[in-house]
Amino acid sequence: MWNTSCSYRHYSASASALKTRNFLSARGVGIWNGTIKNCVASFPFGVQSSDTWHRLRRFSSSSLWLKLQSKERRCRKSAELRVRAAVVFKDLDPDDFRHPLDKQNTALLRTFPGLNDFGKILLGPVAEQIMLLENIGTSVLVTKNQLPDLHQIMIEAANILCIEAPDLYVRQNPVPNAYTLTIGGRKPFIVVHTSIVELLTLKELQAVLAHELGHLKCDHGIWLTFANILMLGTYSIPGLGSFIEEQLFRWLRAAELTCDRAALLVVQDPKIVISALMKLAGGCPSLADQLSVDAFLEQARSYDAASSSPVGWYLRNAQTRQLSHPLPVLRAREIDQWARNPQYKALLARAYTAAIGTATSTNNPTPRPTPTSALLIKQS
C-alpha cells in the first residue's frame, strides 16, 4: 500500500500562456516581471488595484481559467510520457533489492505456526468475491483504450521489473493512496485513488505503481493482503493476538522499504521517489512548485538528530509501533541512502551493460541512462 500518514517544475511561457497574458493585460491585470510563470494551480500575477483584484478573482473561478489549467496539466503529463527509463532489469531477483529489515521480519513471521494458513482461511472464496466485485463494480479498469497514459506507465514499470502487469483500477477517493490485493489463485490487481492521480506527476505516479509491483515481485502475497484488510477495514480480527498483529505491521513497514527500492529501480531517479513521498506527506497541487526535495531530506536528518537521545529513541519507537508504514521522512532518507549504495549502482551498471549488449547484437538503438543513473554508473 502506498500512503503516508517533488521534483521542481519550471516551465517557460507557452503560446497558450502568452494568449492568456494578452487576455489579462487587456483587462488591466498586471503580470510579475512582464512574464507568466506557470504553476500547477495558478499563475502568479501582480495586482494593480482593488478593482483589478476582484476582476482577477472572478476570472480565476471562471470556466475558461479551469480549462486553461486542465489543458496545461495534460500538456505537461504528455511531455512526461516521452521521458522514460531506458533499461530493463533482466533476471532481477527480489533479493537483489530486498531491504534487510524485510528479510529479518519475514523470517520472524514464518516462525508463527499456522499464520499463513489462517490468512488463507480468512481470504476464502467469499472474501475473494467481495473484494473482486467491490473493485469491478465501483472502479474504472485501466486498459490501453481506457486511461491509456496510466496503462502505458504501468506496462513500462512491469517490463522494467520483469514481472507480469496486474490489472489496474482507478477509484474515486479523496484520500491519496494506492494498494495491491492478491486474491487466491486469481490475477492480482492494483487500485489507485483519483486523488493520488491528481496530486502526482506521471513519473511520480509510475514510482507509486512500481512500489506496488514490488510487493508482487517480492511475493509478499497473502501477508500483504492480510495486512491491507486490517488497514482498510480498521478492525482487529478475533483470534489474532495483538503481539502477532504488531509483528505483521512491523513486517509491513519493512516491506514498504523494499518496495520503495523497486520504485527507484523503475524511475531511476531518487528525487522522483522522494518527491512522491513528500507530496503524500504534505503536498497539494497548488504548492507543487514550491516543494523542495533537498529541504525534505534535511528535515529527515533533523528528525534523526532529534530522536538520537534515549528519550527521543523511546518516543520514536512509540510513535512508529502502531503505524502500517514507516514515517515519510524516514522513507525518504532510506531511498536517498540506497541510491548511493554500491548494491544499487551495481544493479544499474549490470542492467545497462546487458542492455547495450542486446542493442549491439540486434542493431537496435543503444539505451541511454537518465542523467542521475549515468552519474551513479560512472561512480560504481
Radius of gyration (C-alpha) of the chain in whole angstroms:
23
Q: Say whether pLDDT at 39 is over 80.
A: no
Q: Is residue 17 part of a domain?
A: no
Query: pLDDT per residue over 93-111, tens digit each?
Result: 999 999 999 999 888 877 7
- CA–CA gap between residue 42 and residue 60 (Å, rounded): 8
Q: Would residue 79 count as lying in a domain? A: no
Higher pLDDT, 327 or 81: 327
Number of H helices, E strands in the chain: 17, 4
237 falls within a domain = yes
Answering whether pTM is above 0.75, one says no
How many domains does the chain contain in total?
Answer: 1
pLDDT of residue 29: 36
For residue 281, what pLDDT is reported? Answer: 93
C-alpha cell at 370: 537518465
- For the segment 66-71, the average pLDDT, to the nearest whole number, is 52
Domain containing 198 equals 84-269+295-339
Residue 279 predicted with pLDDT over 90? yes
Look at residue 192 and tell me if it is in a domain: yes
CB atoms within 10 A of CB 150: 20
The mean pLDDT value of the chain amounts to 74
Q: State the pLDDT confidence band at 123, using cuts at 50, 70 and 90.
A: low
Residue in this structure with the C-alpha cell 505456526, named with its chain if needed: 113
Does the residue 212 lie in any domain?
A: yes
Length of the chain, please? 380
* CATH number of the domain encompassing residue 233: 3.30.2010.10
Tens of pLDDT, residues 8-33 = 333 333 444 444 444 434 433 333 33
Tell me if 13 is assigned to some domain.
no
Using DSSP, state whether 31 is helix, strand or coil: strand
Q: Is residue 353 part of a domain?
A: no
Measuring CA to CA, how many Å separate 207 from each of 35, 71, 273, 307? 33, 24, 6, 29
Is 58 among the domain residues?
no
DSSP state for residue 47 in the 8-state scheme: -
DSSP 8-state secondary structure symbol assigned to residue 342: H
Q: Of 72, 212, 256, 334, which is the active-site residue?
A: 212
Annotation marks residue 212 as catalytic: yes
| Residue closest to 265 by CA, chosen among 211, 313, 306, 315 | 211
pLDDT of 68 > 60? The answer is no
- Looking from the CA of 372 toward its CB, the CA atoms found within 13 Å total 16
